[in-house]
Structure 1
């Protein structure tokens, strides 16, 4: 975050204020070694909202995209930052490096075996002798691409599992179920909130908006039942809003099918 990220975006310290203090308080409570919060010009590349907590060897930095501050309420920002802190505290970066390293290693073994088999069948016609032949690079890349395509559900499941863990951690840390639910709904501007089970399994690397809203409302209900006093019970649950979204989507599909 200190040497590479600034090559692509400009980072400036976040203005002093209650929101910055809240973010630093969350970081301190979670044991994140950061004493400042930075804002970067994410709007240069996209209008999507994002943030991150990253860094090693004393370079840990808390960063928010300017789109997050622009499009989210303070409660939503706190919920997002608690989620990102969860990724950091739960060592998800290192987990993913290990898991994806294993996936790639298996991929290399797959390519090595299948390349030899394919080369035996058509290598003479294509002018390929073995896997060390430079002329076989297109075949090598094609085989590895096929492998990674087949492994897409596996890699997405790995990422989705980490995201769900960070969601749960963030809810417990920030205690902003309404903010988390609301920002999850906002992500529906560029992510399908309620995909079908097959689409979700194959193509989605994050929990669905519906799953996240449900998790937030279940957390809220459990905390209120336990007598929590730091959660606002007057906020209307957003689950009905998800139901309305799904109903509208199905109605639109039916209308298009009838045209």
Structure 2
């Protein structure tokens, strides 16, 4: 039975991978509808022939890697369960210490290390791809440093999850998922509060914006929007990437407006102000807090479904998966597997909500700056810097895009300008 499940899993993954290869490279059409040809949204008007070719190539390969990576993680967890590796990790942990917490830490370390080692080739391929297309400028040692930071942060997070969840399972087999969710609420808020001042600085250096004239303009816009910002921060990303970005991070007293130095180096002040107005819109319309609330609601549903599915799967296939009972730590790969599947399934919905919020932020930015040209050229430069498709295939948009497509964003700006002209003529 274990061999059959493993074989079916591998075959399903191969069929899945072949489908997305065919879909991305042969079926999906990312060309512009004819009515947009020659418009500001047409990449042929702002990208040269080489950039157009590279954009299509890079996007297809990157999207294929995305669709292959997540189910590969599922296959990994199935392998850990079917081969008894989860049981081996528990045995090694038990032999190493008599203290329960140390055993949990050792089990989690072996599982994390194995998962990292198996998925490392895909991570390296992704890094090499971005280097070969001149998106990434990061050296291998610098990239490995970030990878190791990721590993230890993920390990620490996973250790907390394992310790808390399985302690709750031992106390309440029926309602552990509810208690786990209740504890996740303050934990999530605490992590978001620490993110800008503890976690982010592990990867990059943050410092106040050097261009004080630009900072004054940004803070003036923030004041108009009733945003209590005192500083704008820049981060040294040029040594890692040629991509452009800006964002608002943190909650409460640790909220920050952050600009990548690549954005400062490649965009004009008007373009940067447009981006800042977009980011301020998220604060004004409380998108961050709406997003937190939505995430917590989805996590409540997700934990409930995970609990129900774990009970069903362990009751039916527990012997094959070598899981004697749900509250045994050997079931943790199953917990991660189900959580990952549910998150992947929910991503089209969460991306839809995110695209709506980003569209609202774009509208706020153009109304605040009243500078259509700055908005259009900003989106064109973002497309060039990231070699992103202006009109990606439907499945890519559903599963990957938390922002509207560049076609949608630029078209919205052009429609705004046309509407304004009509109003002025009237």
Q: Which residue of 2 aligns with 1:204?
A: 401
Call closer, same or farther: CA 1:4–1:202 in 2, change over 3 Å: closer
- In the alignment, what sits opposite 1:255? none
Structure 1 residue 107 displacement after superposition: 1.1
More helix by share: 2
Alignment of 1:185-200 (within 5 A): 185-189=380-384, 190=386, 191-200=388-397
1:143/1:176 CA distance change after superposition, 3 Å? same
Give the match for residue 316 of structure 2.
Answer: 121
1:138 is the counterpart of 2:352? no
Q: What does 1:47-86 correspond to in 2, within 5 Å?
A: 47-86=242-281
Q: Name the stretch that deviates more: 1-10 or 117-126.
A: 1-10
Give the superposition deviation at 1:65: 1.0
Equivalence for 2:351: 156
> How far apart, CA to CA, are the structure 1 residues paired with 2:392 and 2:298?
26
TM-superposed deviation, 1:52: 2.1
Which secondary structure state, in structure 2, belongs to the residue aligned with residue 100 of structure 1? helix
Q: What secondary structure is seen at the aligned counterpart in 2 of 1:42?
A: coil
Aligned length: 228
Does 43-52 or 152-161 show the bigger shift? 43-52
- CA contact under 8 A between 1:30 and 1:89: conserved in structure 2? yes
Unaligned runs of 5+ residues in structure 1 are 229-259
Q: How far did 1:78 drift?
A: 1.0
Q: Flag the 1:14–1:139 CA change in 2: closer, same or farther, 3 A.
A: closer
| More RCO (CA 8 Å, sep 6+) | 2
Rate the CA distance shift 1:144–1:209 in 2: closer, same or farther, 3 A.
same
- Measured in 2, the distance between the counterparts of 1:59 and 1:135 equals 38
The answer to whether residue 20 in structure 2 is matched with residue 20 in structure 1 is no
Q: What's the CA shift for 1:82?
A: 0.5
Give the one of 356, 363, 366 matched to 1:168: 363
TM-score, normalization: structure 1? Answer: 0.80
CA–CA distance in structure 2, aligned partners of residues 182 and 106 of structure 1: 41
Give the Cα separation in 2 of the matches to 1:17 and 1:227: 36
* In structure 1, C-alpha distance between the alignment counterparts of 2:236 and 2:249, rounded to whole Å: 17
1:37 to 232, 254, 257: 232
- Pairwise CA RMSD: 2.1
What's the counterpart of residue 227 of structure 1? 424
Counterpart for residue 108 of structure 1: 303
Q: Provide the TM-score with structure 2 as the length reference.
A: 0.50
SS at match of 2:238: helix
Q: Which runs of 5+ in 2 are unaligned?
A: 1-195
